[in-house]
Amino acid sequence: MSLIIFSHGKESGPNGNKIRILTEVAHQHGFETLSVDYTSCKNASERVVLLRQMISENKAKSKVLVGSSMGGYVATVLASEVALSGLFLLCPALYMPASEYEAQTYAPKCDTIEIIHGWDDNVVPFENSITFGRKTKAVLHLVNDNHPLKQSYDFMKTCFEGFLKRIEDN
């Protein structure tokens, strides 16, 4: 079984628009999905602990992490600890102030990494995704949008479909 685990952003929840959209795509491609509920977590570090526990308890042979904003940070931290089939990030909160985001270096244990980030993101600078993308050789899309990526839902779906096809082909 292949499993996709979604990590929502700081101000979102486990059933937000992006997760619902991408869950539909995942199911169409035969992936099981799980969306972590971080709403009781006080900070990013607590989210990392919760995701680490969920990954260790799940016996899926293949795991893909998808994260948005703070959830992108959490997914990337865990991708540096656990071998994955893929990592899909939406405006990931990477290289943000260490006071809230303890990890500042990332070395994902997967080859298939894709990022979508808005040029007009006023929460997480798109330059952070460029830095991460350059270091990991990730596929990086910079779009005419802001942090919530509401204008890019169709593009996000198309990218995620291509991402999942690349994972299926590996």
pLDDT digits (tens, 9 = 90+) for 110-163: 999 999 999 999 999 999 999 999 999 999 999 999 999 999 999 999 999 999
Over the stretch 25-35, which tens digit does the pLDDT of each residue have?
A: 999 999 999 99
Q: Give domain 2-169's CATH architecture.
A: 3-Layer(aba) Sandwich (3.40)
Please report, for the chain, the start and end positions of each structural domain, with discontinuous segments joined by +: 2-169
Q: How would you classify the pairing of strands 2-7 and 113-118?
A: unpaired
| Euclidean distance between CA atoms 126 and 68, whole angstroms | 13
Say what the pLDDT of residue 105 is: 96
Predicted structure pTM score: 0.97
Tracing tokens 């990086």 back to the chain, one arrives at: 140
Spatial separation of the C-alpha atoms in residues 136 and 146, rounded to whole Å: 23
pLDDT > 90? residue 47:
yes
